[in-house]
Amino acid sequence: MIRLAVRVSPEHAELVLAELLELAPGGVEEKALPDGDVEYAVYGAPGELPALPDLQAAAGDALVDISTEEIADDWAERWREFHRPLVIGDRLAVRPPWEPAAGAAVEIVIDPGQVFGTGAHATTRLCLEALLELAPGEGPLVDLGCGSGVLSVVAAKLGWGPVLALDYDPAAVEATVANARVNSVGLDCRRYDLRVDPVETSVTPTVSANLLAPLLFAWVRRLTGTALRPERVIAGGLLRSDGDPVAQAFAGIGLNETGRLTGGDWIALILER
């Protein structure tokens, strides 16, 4: 088995991922690196993987490095060991299906497949902590960039409803639908491109947007001038250096920072009207 990895700069990560999914529709593994870069990886036998020129074209100016390596036959088992439960005190536990129950007040099971995680990454964890700060939930919530559906499922468990989960990646939509079914929650899940699709999230009181800064700025630009905007936004996926510029951008449309959560090099903002 071959692992082909593409390393990109964080400010271009979401856009590069969209291009890579065109080349590898079966799914892309994502990992945040200690230096702040993002690594995307695909797995396959020799001859099954995308060609290097195609990957270089997809990554463009954001490309930092491309590498390949042979991996052991037991890589699938080792991959499972990598995904550990996320436990936030006694309030919330998010675990893969092969791990035992943790006994938290709210407990959900998320199968990461081979594309997404279970919420342990700092960006998702911070958004979950923000949801817990705002719980119990009330009214509709949109999960913008839902991934495997961690935030959507937890929001539904905490009392928000209806919950609309949106993501550009078709694999994310499939994973979210499956994880909602496993956890017995009802979600409306759709494929959505925030750069071009109608800004339907503007009519929703609460939006969770676990996105990198460039996509958040693009969303703010689309909200500018609209009559209806969210009452509250949880903005995740942000490096510490992104916090103030993103907060200023949202303040320009009437959403002011009321909370900031930090974890390592990452932060999440709570912004409210």
- Selection from 115-119, 196-200, 261-265 with the highest mean pLDDT: 261-265
Residue 5 in tokens? 């990895």
Residue 245 in tokens? 């510029």
Contact 181, 215 (CB under 8 A): no
Beta bridge partners of 106: 92
- Amino acid letter at 220? V
pLDDT tens per residue across span 186-215? 999 999 988 888 766 555 789 999 988 888
Residue 193 in tokens? 């491109």
Average model confidence (pLDDT) for the chain? Answer: 83
Contact 66, 6 (CB under 8 A): yes
pLDDT tens per residue across span 81-94? 556 678 888 999 99
pLDDT at 175: 87
The span from the CA of 115 to the CA of 111, in Å, is 10
pLDDT at 75: 56
pLDDT at 232: 94
Distances in Å between the Cα of 97 and the Cα atoms of 20, 83, 183, 191, 210 are 28, 10, 11, 25, 23
**DSSP code at position 224:** T
The span from the CA of 216 to the CA of 252, in Å, is 13
pLDDT tens per residue across span 39-63? 888 777 667 777 777 667 666 777 7
Q: Which long-range contacts (CB under 8 A, 24 or more apart) does 31-34 make?
A: 32/121, 32/122, 32/123, 33/7
